Amino acid sequence: MSNFSFSRRKFLSTAVASGAGAVLLKGCVGNPPEPGGAAGGSASPAAEATPVALTPETTPETTKIKLGYIPIVEAAPLIIAKEKGFFAKYGMTDVEVSKQANWGSARDNVEIGADAGGIDGGQWQMPMPYRISEGLDTKNNVKIPMYVLAQLNTQGNGIAIANKHIGKGLGLDLKGAGKDYILSLKQAGTPFKAAQTFPNANQDFWIRYWFAAAGINPGQDVDILTVPAAQTVANMKTGTMDAFSTGDPWPARIVADNIGFMSALTAEIWPNHPEEYLAIRGDWVDKNPKATKAILKGVMEAQQWCDKTENKPEMAKILSGAGYFNVPVAVLEAPLTVGYKMGDNKADIKDVAKQGVLYWKDARGSVSYPYKSHDLWFLTESVRWGFMPKETLANAQALIDKVNREDLWKEAAKEAGIAEADIPTSTSRGVEKFFDGKEFDPENPQAYLDSLEIKAA
Ligand code: CA
């Protein structure tokens, strides 16, 4: 339970606000410049989608919203919806997609809201919308209700390791040589330093799951640090960090720049796992339900566009542009088209249609639909590591029903003419299976917790 009282003040030195963050980021390898502050630029201003005829039922209450994003592939549906005109197609003609210096800045900006110079919502790791709704990470623990509206993507993330650890058995399964090696570093007084991009959320969960599956206790045997995604390459270069977990293009960049190798893709740890989400302030959604659905329709169309093989080169070009990620296009194009170089004598992963980042559909069905069962896993995993109190599970359903607005996703999908077969009929995706044989049954999260050998709770 020690982590539950996590204080946002720990962050303030690195994540104060986009202004300070931007200064910090400018000196780092592959970091986006900040033309016009934190606002995103426009790679190809000409919108291509033809606007639909709006009816009184579909005319948005406002044409304007400000959505934050972090420059990793998870943001693609928001950027593509803007650049390809899918937001405008449904009447949202003034959507601003705004680059956030890091997750702490995104949290701060949604807390203040767009009217006060912040953002209305955007891209989030899980369970950040829950933590913000419950006042766990906010100033003075104020509760800012947020609604989870869609999942942006699955997969596309990985765990990168610095080159000095080549040949030490640091692969997907750490049992044996890898575990012995990591424990030996602790013995020697130089514990293995692994970074995530924000505590108590996806990247923190993936790296902890990976260690714990091998019997390495992430709370005792290694040091887990928080490093903004865009700084990870620089930190690995300077040797202040041994491993990190984040989304592309950063893992691919590590290998392309010969700084490190990939121990595992998240697609290997948990195939078709839930990754990042679109969530917006509840007050904004309550005031603008039709605009919310228009945004959802634009995002859904962008997600379908992003999954098409023939669109990947254009997608890489748009995302890599100076106004967005500002990275060499090849670094983004490789994982989207030919797959991942893993390094350290591991076979390359080439089946991008199966193990790459996916936005609309995967082997389990809908990617875009926000399954409540996935939110429950994030809450359960939060209890596992002591990020949320044990009582969370007893109240989880009520909390999920409040935050997860899959009903709006379904209404928007129907309005957009999405095929019936692509609209899930259950809010649960059913039993989830992990690479180490563990299973999460949403009907019995406690059984999952009981099955785990290493946990804080
Ligand atoms: Ca991620």
Ligand 1 center to residue 269 CA distance, Å?
A: 14
Q: How far apart are CA 379 and CA 359, in angstroms?
A: 23
Q: How far apart are CA 309 and CA 336, in angstroms?
A: 9
- Stated pTM of the model: 0.90
Ligand 1 center to residue 197 CA distance, Å?
A: 9
- Kindly report, residue by residue over 95-112, the tens digit of the pLDDT: 999 999 999 999 999 999
Ligand 1 center to residue 436 CA distance, Å?
A: 21
Lookup: tokens for 114: 């767009």
Tell me the mean pLDDT in the region 137-159.
97
pLDDT band at 254 (very low <50, low <70, confident <90, very high): confident
Lookup: tokens for 375: 């939110």
Ligand 1 center to residue 157 CA distance, Å?
A: 6
Distance of CA 7 to the CA centre of its chain: 21
Ligand 1 center to residue 260 CA distance, Å?
A: 19
pLDDT band at 9 (very low <50, low <70, confident <90, very high): very low
Q: How far apart are CA 140 and CA 210, in angstroms?
A: 33
Across the chain, what does the average pLDDT equal? 90
Q: What is the model's pLDDT at position 239?
A: 87
DSSP string, 31-89: PPP-TTTTB---S-----SPPPPP-TTTS-S-SEEEEEE-SSGGGHHHHHHHHTTHHHH
Q: What is the model's pLDDT at position 339?
A: 92
- Kindly report, residue by residue over 199-229, the tens digit of the pLDDT: 999 999 999 999 999 999 999 999 999 988 7
Ligand 1 center to residue 312 CA distance, Å?
A: 19
Nearest to 243 by CA among 274, 217, 211: 211
Res. 303: pLDDT tops 70: yes
Ligand 1 center to residue 60 CA distance, Å?
A: 30
DSSP string, 324-357: TT-S-HHHHHHHHHT-B--BTTBPPB--HHHHS-
pLDDT band at 62 (very low <50, low <70, confident <90, very high): very high
Ligand 1 center to residue 54 CA distance, Å?
A: 35
Name the amino acid, one letter, at 384: R
Ligand 1 center to residue 156 CA distance, Å?
A: 8
Ligand 1 center to residue 424 CA distance, Å?
A: 24
Lookup: tokens for 297: 């329709």
Instruction: For tokens 């949403």, name the residue.
Output: 442
Ligand 1 center to residue 209 CA distance, Å?
A: 14
Q: How far apart are CA 31 and CA 437, in angstroms?
A: 38
Ligand 1 center to residue 58 CA distance, Å?
A: 32
Ligand 1 center to residue 417 CA distance, Å?
A: 29
Ligand 1 center to residue 152 CA distance, Å?
A: 10
User: In this structure, are residues 312 and 339 in contact, taking their beta carbons and an 8 Å threshold?
Assistant: no
Q: How far apart are CA 169 and CA 348, in angstroms?
A: 16
Res. 21: pLDDT tops 80: no
Ligand 1 center to residue 169 CA distance, Å?
A: 25
User: In this structure, are residues 343 and 398 in contact, taking their beta carbons and an 8 Å threshold?
Assistant: no
H-type helices in 365-405, by residue range?
Answer: 372-384, 396-403
pLDDT band at 123 (very low <50, low <70, confident <90, very high): very high
Ligand 1 center to residue 114 CA distance, Å?
A: 24
Q: What is the model's pLDDT at position 231?
A: 83
Res. 92: pLDDT tops 60: yes
In this prediction, what percent of the chain has a pLDDT beyond 70?
A: 89
Q: What is the model's pLDDT at position 457?
A: 61
Ligand 1 center to residue 126 CA distance, Å?
A: 9
Decide: helix, strand or coil at residue 89: helix
Ligand 1 center to residue 74 CA distance, Å?
A: 6
Ligand 1 center to residue 82 CA distance, Å?
A: 21
Q: What is the model's pLDDT at position 23?
A: 30
Tell me the mean pLDDT in the region 412-425.
97
Q: What is the model's pLDDT at position 249?
A: 87
Spell out the long-range contacts of 337-342 with Cβ–Cβ below 8 A and sequence spacing 24 or more.
337/309, 337/312, 337/313, 340/158, 340/251, 340/252, 340/255, 340/262, 340/265, 341/252, 341/255, 341/256, 341/262, 342/255, 342/261, 342/262
Ligand 1 center to residue 122 CA distance, Å?
A: 14
Ligand 1 center to residue 51 CA distance, Å?
A: 32
- Kindly report, residue by residue over 340-375, the tens digit of the pLDDT: 999 999 999 999 999 999 999 999 999 999 999 999
Tell me the mean pLDDT in the region 155-162.
96
pLDDT band at 415 (very low <50, low <70, confident <90, very high): very high
Ligand 1 center to residue 330 CA distance, Å?
A: 20
Ligand 1 center to residue 449 CA distance, Å?
A: 23
Distance of CA 90 to the CA centre of its chain: 25
Nearest to 184 by CA among 169, 163, 172, 205: 169
Q: What is the model's pLDDT at position 291?
A: 98
Ligand 1 center to residue 359 CA distance, Å?
A: 13
User: What number of residues does the chain have?
Assistant: 457
User: In this structure, are residues 413 and 425 in contact, taking their beta carbons and an 8 Å threshold?
Assistant: no
Res. 61: pLDDT tops 90: yes
What domains appear along the chain, each with residue ranges and CATH number?
2-155+273-325+360-422 (3.40.190.10), 157-272 (3.40.190.10)
Q: What is the model's pLDDT at position 229?
A: 74
In this prediction, what percent of the chain has a pLDDT beyond 90?
A: 83
Nearest to 178 by CA among 190, 189, 166: 166
Helix axes 289-307, 76-83, angle to 10 degrees: 100
Ligand 1 center to residue 188 CA distance, Å?
A: 32
Q: What is the model's pLDDT at position 47?
A: 52
